[in-house]
């Protein structure tokens, strides 16, 4: 099979670096170019010592003739501009920004406080494969979900679809993320001296922008907007998200079983046996999600979803989406499948 030529916009950020790592060893992909505005003309190796020696160019100098598919690790609004350019040249797009996630530009403007630069691109299929991979096969563009949205939706959607969440009850999501979720641009609150020894909530309640995409997806199962209370926190570690969802149900044990059954055939989402709890150690540096569903009482289910925010929360999910888009087996490039002789693949 011919290699698919891919371009990575925003390669020196944390998600861009992970994409280089994954696509660099993907058997069906070849990295055609990588962009960075701040480091154009330099090598990616100057940005990260373990990176390959890939030359960086500015986004404006990209030639779309020699590329089949682009991954956009750009700030929102900038991403839509590049997406529009690429699609106009018949280059497929996987957008890791928020620009293609919200179907309705009015809703986008509410959450992002800015008019959508290219509303004509919307809607675009939302790329969370375990919650609906059919709509992603062979498409031209995929909106890659947010990291918090991935962790939250993996826990809630199976319950919502089966009508297990009690009506008119609030759903609490207390989520904690490693610092890489805040990006690689120097900011006062992500300095080592501010994060080390600290733990801090932010945007509690209805303030976080991922609520928009979370409730859009939940609405497809009849979950009314406004019921979600979302509390994100900054953890003193570099990567990983653990999201605890507190859901009122009529039978917590049965709901836990339903969640396990929903994912039983998924290779990248693992519901742990009863009694085990999902932790960051289950998933960091892997494309996996680990889920534990624990009855907190007869009528309250505690769902913990752990993912690596840069992988299942961004770049490895983007590769799943890439595989589906190009009709390649979905986990290609994400497991050690070629060389693994042992009982089961694993990510030690």
Give the count of beta carbons closer than 10 Å to the beta carbon of residue 41.
10
- Beta carbon nearer to a second copy, 83 or 288: 288
β-bridge pairing 300-307 and 289-297: antiparallel
- Beta carbon nearer to a second copy, 125 or 304: 304
The Cα–Cα gap between 49 and 51 comes to: 6
- Beta carbon nearer to a second copy, 222 or 226: 226
- Beta carbon nearer to a second copy, 123 or 183: 183
CB contact at 8 A, 91 and 70:
yes
CB of 298 to a second copy, least distance (A): 9
- Would you state the structure tokens that stand for residue 119, as one six-digit string? 């509303």
- Would you state the structure tokens that stand for residue 113, as one six-digit string? 């406080």
CB of 157 to a second copy, least distance (A): 21
- Beta carbon nearer to a second copy, 122 or 218: 218
Burial class of residue 229 (count of CB atoms within 10 Å of its CB; 0-12, 13-18, 19+): middle
- Beta carbon nearer to a second copy, 43 or 77: 43
DSSP state of 55: B
Q: Which of 175, 189, 192, 182 has the alpha carbon at shortest distance from 303?
A: 175
Q: Chain centroid to CA 27: how far?
A: 22
Could you tell me which residues are beta bridge partners of residue 228?
Answer: 171
- Beta carbon nearer to a second copy, 18 or 330: 18
Helix (H) / strand (E) element for 304: namely strand 300-307
CB of 10 to a second copy, least distance (A): 15
Residue 334: HSE in the Cβ half-sphere, 13 Å Cα cutoff: 24
CB of 234 to a second copy, least distance (A): 9
CB contact at 8 A, 74 and 9:
yes
The residues carrying an active-site annotation are 147
β-bridge pairing 300-307 and 56-57: unpaired
CB of 252 to a second copy, least distance (A): 9
The dihedral sign for the CA sequence 51, 55, 61, 63: negative
Q: Chain centroid to CA 77: how far?
A: 18
User: CA 135, 138, 139: angle at the middle one, nearest 5?
Assistant: 65
């Amino acid at each position: 099979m011919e290699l698919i030529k891919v371009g990575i916009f925003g390669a020196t950020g944390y998600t861009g670096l992970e994409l280089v790592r994954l696509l660099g060893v993907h058997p069906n992909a070849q990295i055609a170019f990588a962009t960075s505005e701040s480091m154009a003309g330099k090598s990616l190796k100057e940005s990260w010592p373990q990176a390959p020696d890939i030359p960086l160019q500015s986004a404006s100098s990209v030639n779309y003739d020699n590329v089949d598919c682009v991954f956009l690790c750009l700030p929102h609004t900038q991403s839509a501009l590049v997406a529009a350019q690429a699609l106009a040249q018949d280059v497929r797009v996987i957008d890791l920004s928020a620009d293609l996630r919200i179907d309705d530009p009015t809703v986008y403007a509410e959450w992002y406080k800015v008019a959508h630069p290219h509303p004509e691109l919307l809607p675009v299929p939302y790329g969370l494969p375990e919650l609906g991979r059919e709509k992603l096969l062979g498409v031209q563009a995929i909106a890659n979900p947010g990291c918090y949205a991935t962790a939250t939706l993996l826990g809630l959607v199976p319950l919502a679809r089966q009508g297990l969440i009690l009506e008119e009850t609030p759903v609490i999501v207390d989520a904690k993320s490693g610092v890489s979720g805040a990006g690689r641009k120097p900011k006062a609150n992500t300095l080592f001296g501010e994060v080390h020894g600290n733990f801090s909530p932010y945007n509690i309640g209805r303030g976080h922008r991922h609520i928009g995409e979370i409730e859009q997806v939940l609405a497809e199962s009849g979950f009314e907007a406004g019921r979600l209370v979302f509390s994100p926190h900054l953890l003193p570690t570099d990567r990983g998200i653990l999201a605890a969802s507190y859901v009122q149900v009529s039978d917590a044990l049965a709901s836990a079983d339903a969640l396990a059954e929903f994912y039983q055939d998924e290779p990248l989402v693992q519901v742990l046996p009863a009694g085990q709890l999902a932790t960051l150690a289950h998933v960091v540096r892997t494309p996996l999600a680990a889920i534990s569903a624990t009855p907190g009482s007869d009528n309250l289910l505690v769902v913990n979803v752990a993912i690596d925010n840069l992988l299942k929360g961004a770049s490895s999910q983007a590769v799943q989406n890439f595989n589906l888009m190009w009709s390649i087996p979905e986990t290609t490039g994400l497991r050690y499948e070629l060389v693994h002789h042992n009982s089961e693949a694993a990510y030690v």
